[in-house]
Amino acid sequence: MRIDIKDILGKWKEYTLFNDMGMTVSVLDYGGIITEIMVPDRNGKFGNVVLGFKNYTEYEQNHSNYFGAIIGRVAGRIEDASFEINNQPYHLEANEGHHQLHGGSKGFHQVKWSVTPFQNKKAVGIRLDHKSIDGEGGYPGNIDITVTYTLTNDNKLTLEYSATSDKTTALALTNHSYFNLNGDLKNTVENHHVTIDSGHFVELNQELIPTGRLISVDETSFDFRGGRLLKEGFEDVSVQNKIAGKGYDHYFVFDHHLENNAVVQESSSGRIMTMKTDQPGMVMYTSNTLMDGLELKEGPSRRYLGVCLETQSSPASLHHEGFPSVILPAGECYQKQTVFTFGLQS
């Protein structure tokens, strides 16, 4: 195992984690962006299974897709870019219509993080640290955040998030990697077979804002408990699939009945990715609105080219009862973990 460090554009550094099995994970200190994950297919050929720009300047200039980045302070959409804590109103930047998306235009995806590499007999990784000051982006509290990426020899990539705030605040951190198990963008994710341990998802309105209703997945294209191909949702004519741009951009609440919270399989490559987390749910986004023609590492972008598994609590909790809360009380420790394991179908 080892870590390579490369200077990027004279202002950033890219850290590449190598395990003894040949898997690599590359991460920028800018945005904590995962730029590449190389894993083998059934024939032993390594390929990149995440979307990333060919020209790294695009991460700064064209950041609206959030490729591979750490998202915060609050991942997802906050209705009317405002919320209250203990009857105190807080007003945020509206960067998507009247609403805020992914922490606003100056969110953690644009922060240059302080990085500390580490290595031991079992793992290699990096620790990323950032301090967000009270009032930044309209959010209360001085908050210290640490995100740790760890790679082991059993091809597990663990993302750990920890934070503390001196004021009660809203916090929901996630990573926004777009996965494509075909490798090197050979195809879209339409034939990715996905299993999700979830019996309910959050209903969205026409602006992709949660309505406050949880909907049963029974007899819908949102029922992934037994697994299904993503293209079934792309082709579905139901209102919720159409609202999301003929696909998925919805929060799934985990049941915690199955061994894994989610499993993604791609039959032509033989790759399989399992995901386990202590988060209460995740947004699955299937790049329904990804624009054509962005210059990615292996070719041009297009619709349905990746699937995001954004593990987090729900910002809908700021306006509706009955959703996993994003409120972090002053002095308490925010501690979350998500583990992605890469393997091959048996």
Starting at the edge strand that comes first in sequence, how are the strands of the sheet with 114-119 ordered? Answer: 114-119, 123-132, 143-152, 156-165, 333-344, 271-277, 262-265, 193-196, 228-229
How far apart, in whole angstroms, are the C-alpha atoms of residue 246 and residue 230? 11
Are 35 and 68 in contact by the 8 Å Cβ rule? The answer is yes
The tokens 């959703």 sit on which residue?
A: 323
Backbone angles phi, psi at 235, to 5 degrees: -90, -10
Q: Can you name the residues that pair with 276 across neighbouring β-strands?
A: 339
CA angle, residues 125, 144, 156, in degrees to nearest 5: 25
Is 207 assigned a catalytic role? no
Are 284 and 275 in contact by the 8 Å Cβ rule? The answer is no
DSSP helix/strand/coil, 162: strand
How far apart, in whole angstroms, are the C-alpha atoms of residue 63 and residue 67? 8
Q: Which of 36, 79, 266, 310 is catalytic?
A: 310
Q: Which of 130, 176, 200, 250 is catalytic?
A: 176
Is 259 assigned a catalytic role? no
Burial grade of 71 (CB within 10 A; 0-12, 13-18, 19 or more): buried
Q: Can you name the residues that pair with 296 across neighbouring β-strands?
A: 53, 299
How far apart, in whole angstroms, are the C-alpha atoms of residue 36 and residue 140? 34
The tokens 């922490």 sit on which residue?
A: 103
Peptide bond into 213 cis (omega under 30): no
CA proximity to 30, closest of 60, 54, 73 = 60
How far apart, in whole angstroms, are the C-alpha atoms of residue 276 and residue 259? 8
Please give the positions annotated as active site: 176, 310
